[in-house]
Structure 1
């Protein structure tokens, strides 16, 4: 959109409007959704404005929730001889791009101020940003129908397993909701540590619903009128829901997180950017601007009611990372070395004893909807010419067969593993067979992995060689159905280099448990890695 002090005739205005409509339609058809919308050919455009020797182009990125407000305001507020390119981009998308080396826009209006911190932009980019006032606000709510109830706190609501939340990794309202228990901690008499720990069961309940195909898209009216569930949404989104007069704001009385849409300008922004930002802020402060904000279902800055304090950018970043770990359940084939060297003394038992203990402890932390299978391997462990033996196939831990759950069966198998050690290390054939099985048993909405644990190197003279093995693993890898191989080298005797090469080919990683006491920590790190 371009502005000049001159105004064209009525005929010129109609022609400009037609040109604008044509440009927008053609641009949309050619470049598709998500492209920057170039607003131009306003009355007094470059073609009709000989007084402008040169137009100043300003790059503007605007959060979707306030995009309509900003574009309409810019029609009136854009200074003379300035060309604006307002792109609709989520604040999370912009912050992630900048953190990976991308450039900040000249003007950026994200959903929330925490996205402008070094924890989200990176320490190098944050000083390049001038943070201004908020342009509008909207509270984050818990909404439900007639059968839903109001809880005393966000923590209590989220612990009830009745709350559906947008993915915090891609939704600002979702990120603020999962950190609300920490934000309200002092007001409700909880310690911050206790509040943070409440995220784990909430994330696991979310993961369990996603596994069942629920909550892929979270919106205010997603449940039937008689459902007891609550939905995390914003006041703006709630006002846009038609034909659901039963929906109520059931946010705890302690307060709400809020989106606050700060106006930011890059320190070395293009000429004209600061003038444009000042003009935009001034226009939205007028009576006409306030009406425009209200018409979009937003509130004026500072008018969001009882607002919870927003945790630091680092606290929100840490919570979102933890959410990613705990909400995506594991689909894991654990493959354990049962060669004779696993009988070696490790101080408080054999290497196999320590590994079995780590496995039992690890099982206690996995949710019921996690899928785990167990193999052991040594040369001819599964019979002549087969180095692997399946002890338990990959099943959910709450899967009930023959009167016992998969979790119980795996604990029993862990008790038996010390009696299975014998022979040499049949590593390569086992790795290929295990990866093939995990790819075949792939499950969406899970973190699919083979966890390969060994204290040695391949000793089977009749097995596949390393280079052909790597080639076969690469051929089996499917980016649309990703399965990682995660290697754990138990002691310095293990072939860590080979484990790393196998892991890297599949997008995984390898870890070293150099001392016996490291086994549990490394096992947990490997299982939780994504």
Structure 2
């Protein structure tokens, strides 16, 4: 018998397992706990009940299924932490959860790779079919639950990665602003019900979740679409987590019953698709769809780790070389103009809560003993100062860079001052970094020597308050070796655009590295 009561509205009465009444051949009983994604619980309970009424047994004992709703992220975290009380059987909404339990000491047995299937879709009012997941996830009004704890949005991120022609830089150019916007959004939806109640925007969820909401009277005015490039599918595997044959046998009976015509009907009524992913009858869902290639386990782990990092806001000081050599022409444009344009183009990657400031540097630019000048202090991009936003102020400062070029490259003193300035205003809730762009080598005879700079950077480095230097060398004269040693001393990365005309792509890649 089930230990969790069914709602009265289902009209299901519980009849004791006949074997427990002495009508069958099993001796004793065995409770088998089944932790399942919430949307699958009702179907699993009904199937389990029918099995009990039919005298289900495993290893000679009567089976007493206990089906309960469990967030897959909580089960995965519990198993990975080796916490006590693991369920006997587990039905997460996606097989990707099985890749997140490295710390589990048992030997999980996949009894069924897929009990049910449901494609990931986009829903919205008056929504036209998007061309791609890139288009969907680039929308300012796209809404979804945290991908680290919810499979449908995680699948959308993986779909973005799997789309034809998609590169790592393409993925990051979408994920960075999206993660930072949603990571700082205190009103972000906590569950799919909130998504359906949202008066606008585009919601990412599974087809079944949307149909379940409609059955509850929610979201009936939402259009459901799948991007033209295709989509990913939630697959609901059935896994036995405990040792011994009882759990496996009980799981096999669940899988067999769900694979029968009666089980297939239950799944269809609940909004799930069959294994062949044929459209649901009566135009209830997204119709015909194409599938994108599912990524491997490492791609899943990497994408979700990247998302977790990106949800932490950025705090950046951009430091630009304006020495005389930045006036050299490459491809019909000066280096400083190319740097200004690449930086301006990259600003769109950052959400309004990102904090960005700007310096320029050349020997003596800030006075007789100072090689740097602050152009814009570090502030949130949506901060308002003097009638304009910080984003606008930075755009204006970038446009002024070509008019500042003069003199030699004051690299070492500027680097140390920039790292110290960022650390002085350190934000514990952000990734704090210096983005340094230069086309030369240190030319200030009165500055620190490179060994002194490196020693000081290492001595002042604080693991609790890290400030990484992201260095971009431009042109053939950039001191790549010095930049490499500087970033190593701060835990950063260096990039070199030997052809200044390629600076835009290199600059974007460097910023995305954070």
Common fold by TM > 0.5: yes
Of 187, 209, 216, the match for 1:214: 187
Cα distance between partner residues in 1 of 2:338 and 2:211? 57
After superposition, the C-alpha distances for 1:391-435 in whole angstroms (9 at most, x for unaligned) are 112345555544544444434433433443445544344323323
Counterpart of 2:290 in 1: which secondary structure? coil
Of 290, 301, 309, the match for 2:290: 309
Counterpart of 1:465 in 2: which secondary structure? helix
Counterpart of 1:167 in 2: which secondary structure? coil
Moved more, 86-95 or 509-518: 86-95
Cα distance between partner residues in 1 of 2:496 and 2:434? 16
CA RMSD of aligned residues (A): 6.0
| Residue in 2 that maps onto 1:374 | 358
After superposition, the C-alpha distances for 1:373-407 in whole angstroms (9 at most, x for unaligned) are 21012344323443321011234555554454444
Determine if the alignment matches structure 1 residue 149 to structure 2 residue 129.
Answer: no
CA contact (8 A) 1:380 1:388 kept: yes
CA contact (8 A) 1:369 1:398 kept: yes
| Residue in 1 that maps onto 2:145 | 166
After superposition, the C-alpha distances for 1:422-478 in whole angstroms (9 at most, x for unaligned) are 455443443233234334556688654321122214746454531121221335635
From the superposition, tell whether residues 206 and 89 of structure 1 become closer, same or farther in structure 2 (CA, over 3 Å): closer
| Residue in 1 that maps onto 2:84 | none
CA contact (8 A) 1:375 1:389 kept: yes
Cα distance between partner residues in 1 of 2:161 and 2:437? 38
Of 488, 509, 512, the match for 2:493: 509
| Residue in 2 that maps onto 1:518 | 502
After superposition, the C-alpha distances for 1:147-200 in whole angstroms (9 at most, x for unaligned) are x734243669878754421234553211345688999x9xxxxx999xx99997
From the superposition, tell whether residues 462 and 280 of structure 1 become closer, same or farther in structure 2 (CA, over 3 Å): same
- The equivalences for 1:321-332 within 5 A come to 324=307, 330-332=314-316
| Residue in 1 that maps onto 2:10 | none
- The equivalences for 1:117-516 within 5 A come to 132-138=112-118, 149-153=125-129, 161-168=140-147, 170-177=149-156, 204=177, 207-208=180-181, 210-215=183-188, 217-221=190-194, 227-228=199-200, 231-234=203-206, 245-248=217-220, 250-252=222-224, 258-263=233-238, 278-285=252-259, 299=272, 301-302=274-275, 305=280, 306=285, 308-314=289-295, 324=307, 330-343=314-327, 348=332, 350-363=334-347, 370-397=354-381, 399-439=383-423, 448-454=432-438, 455-457=440-442, 459=444, 461-463=446-448, 465-475=453-463, 477-478=465-466, 483-491=467-475, 493-516=477-500
User: What runs of 5+ residues in structure 1 fail to find an aligned partner?
Assistant: 1-6, 11-41, 46-59, 99-105, 122-127, 186-190
Structure 1 residue 313: Cα displacement? 1.7
Cα distance between partner residues in 2 of 1:485 and 1:516? 20
| Residue in 2 that maps onto 1:39 | none
CA contact (8 A) 1:141 1:249 kept: no
Cα distance between partner residues in 2 of 1:357 and 1:152? 34
CA contact (8 A) 1:90 1:110 kept: yes
Structure 1 residue 137: Cα displacement? 3.8
User: What runs of 5+ residues in structure 2 fail to find an aligned partner?
Assistant: 1-18, 62-66, 81-87, 102-107
Aligned residues: 446
CA contact (8 A) 1:138 1:259 kept: yes
After superposition, the C-alpha distances for 1:82-122 in whole angstroms (9 at most, x for unaligned) are xxxx9978489979x99xxxxxxx998553468899xx99x
From the superposition, tell whether residues 444 and 286 of structure 1 become closer, same or farther in structure 2 (CA, over 3 Å): farther
After superposition, the C-alpha distances for 1:469-508 in whole angstroms (9 at most, x for unaligned) are 1221335635xxxx54211123454443443344345443
